[in-house]
Structure 1
Amino acid sequence: MRAIKKIHNSEYRPIADLITYSPMPTRSIEMIDPFLFLNHHGYQTYPANNRGLPFGPHPHRGMETVTFILEGDIMHKDSSGHESVIGPGGVQYMTAGKGLIHAEVSSDQFKKSGGDLEILQLWLNLPASKKMMSPNYIGLQKEEIPVLELDDSKIKIQQLFGEWNGVKGAFEGTFPIQMSTIYLAKGGAFEKEIPASENIFFYVVRGKVSVNEKEVDFRHLVEFENHGERLQVEALEESVIILGHALPFNEPVVAQGPFVMNSEAQIREAYEDYQNGKFGSWNG
């Protein structure tokens, strides 16, 4: 089995009135190459006539975002012309590439009516060769994402990137990557072989699971060693996990604010390009 290096607790980092926990980066872990950053918003219930999500227009360069909407919704709009509202069970995949401006806010309906909200956003690095690629965005509703079932339907896997048991993911990654959102009924179990050369991203969103004979509670991130290939997972409670794996880039990472590049000079260039209007125009 793949050896576990450490289990990391999330740090509480509220944003305005949005409950937010971040398991990475924290004081105990910086990144799991090429997985850079995760914010876990909620679970919380918004009243009617609320302000919704606080993520107005802001720029990005050199990275990608994968946004998991478990409850509530997100209205996405960006300077490349993409716009959508994605609801519960849906996923958004955005490639910032050479640069764009985007906003992630709640729909008018959610702000008016309120409701439950739980949303996670994971940042993926881009390899140096693709940091200046053209931006892109795809938003898919729950019913548009392929689902694989295991263990007499006690395990339901939303396949996002890569392939699992012949089920191809909903998104084509810009580099080789596997990623799934996994819903587990209590007692549900699965095994997965992952090459020792690949880094694993394993985060428990809800519930409690046993992974390779270690108990992991919700809002905890599991960091694995790079030896052993098998994961054995069992749900000790009804649970949700995010599981991803990919080869590390092993490239320098210089991150500042919304930009993730390979050098300080590239970060300065990103700020200059943004200030000079090279990320596109924003029409609110």
Structure 2
Amino acid sequence: MREIKKIHKAEYRPIADLVTYSPMPTRQLQQLDPFIFLNHHGFQTYPAHNQGLPFGPHPHRGMETVTFITAGDIMHLDSSGHESVIGPGGVQYMTAGSGLIHSEVSSSDFKKNGGDLEILQLWLNLPADKKMMKPSYVGLQENEIPSFTMDNGKIKVQQLFGEWDGNGGAFKGNFPITMSTIYLEKGGKFEKAISAEENIFFYIVRGVLMVNGEEINFRNLVEFENQEGSISVEATEDAILILGHAAPFNEPMVAQGPFVMNTQQQIQEAYQDYQAGKFGTWTH
């Protein structure tokens, strides 16, 4: 087994009326290279005639976002001309690269009618030689994401990056990475062997899991030791898990606001380039 190093409880960090928890970065855990940031918004229920998500136009450079919609919806708009509304079970993958401006807001239907909302956004670092690559965006609905089942149908896996037991992912990553959203019914279990060289991102979105024999609640991130072995997971109640793994870059990282670069000078250049209009124009 890959030993559990530490369990990190997500900290409560509300944003306006949006319930938000974050297990990383905190004082205890800066990053799990190349996984660098997670916000877990919700679960909450919005009334009719609400303001929706508060993430108006803002810039990014040097990193990527993977956004998981488990309830509600999210409308993406960006300065490269991409636009989509993704609903429950869908995932958005955006590469900021050299820089773009985007907004993440609720659809007009959601703002009008209200409803349940739960959305998670994970930031991935980009390696130094790809930080200035061309920005890109792909948004997929639940039925567009390849999935497979395990344990007699008690477990459904959405394969997002890389492959698992020959099942390929929905997105082509910009560095070697494997990631899945896993939906477990009570009693469902699986084991997965992960190379000692890779860091594991393991976050419980909903429910309770036995992880290597230890019971862990939702809104907890599990940090594992880097050793050969597998992780063993069993659901003690219905649960949702985000599981990713990738080799660390082992490069210097400077993160400031929406920019993630390798040096402080590159951060200053990012602010200058944004102010000079080099991230595109916002026409929405």
Give the TM-score band, short-chain normalised: over 0.9
> Which residue is equivalent to 2:131?
131
Residues 198 and 245, structure 1, Cα contact 8 Å, conserved in 2: yes
CA distance in structure 2 between the aligned counterparts of 1:64 and 1:253, rounded to whole angstroms: 14
Which blocks of at least 5 consecutive residues in structure 1 are unaligned?
Answer: none
Which blocks of at least 5 consecutive residues in structure 2 are unaligned?
Answer: none
Q: How does 1:1-284 map to 2 (within 5 A)?
A: 1-284=1-284
Range with bigger deviation, 13-22 or 224-233: 224-233
1:257 is displaced (CA, Å) by 0.0
CA distance in structure 1 between the aligned counterparts of 2:236 and 2:54, rounded to whole angstroms: 34
Percent of aligned positions that are identical = 73
Q: Read off the aligned partner of 1:212 and give its amino acid letter.
A: N
1:97 is displaced (CA, Å) by 0.0
TM-score by length of 1: 0.99
1:229 is displaced (CA, Å) by 2.0
1:170 is displaced (CA, Å) by 0.3
1:215 is displaced (CA, Å) by 1.3
- Partner deviation per Cα, 1:61-104 (whole Å, 9 max, x = no partner): 00000000000000000000100000000000000000000000
CA distance in structure 1 between the aligned counterparts of 2:215 and 2:263, rounded to whole angstroms: 39
RMSD: 0.5
Q: Read off the aligned partner of 2:71 and give its amino acid letter.
A: E
Residues 127 and 249, structure 1, Cα contact 8 Å, conserved in 2: yes
Residues 3 and 228, structure 1, Cα contact 8 Å, conserved in 2: no
- Partner deviation per Cα, 1:219-249 (whole Å, 9 max, x = no partner): 0000011013201100011100000000000
CA distance in structure 2 between the aligned counterparts of 1:229 and 1:79, rounded to whole angstroms: 44
Q: Read off the aligned partner of 2:223 and give its amino acid letter.
A: E
TM-score by length of 2: 0.99
Q: Read off the aligned partner of 2:198 and give its amino acid letter.
A: E
CA distance in structure 2 between the aligned counterparts of 1:5 and 1:243, rounded to whole angstroms: 16
Deviating beyond 2 angstroms after TM superposition, the runs of 4 or more aligned structure 1 residues are none
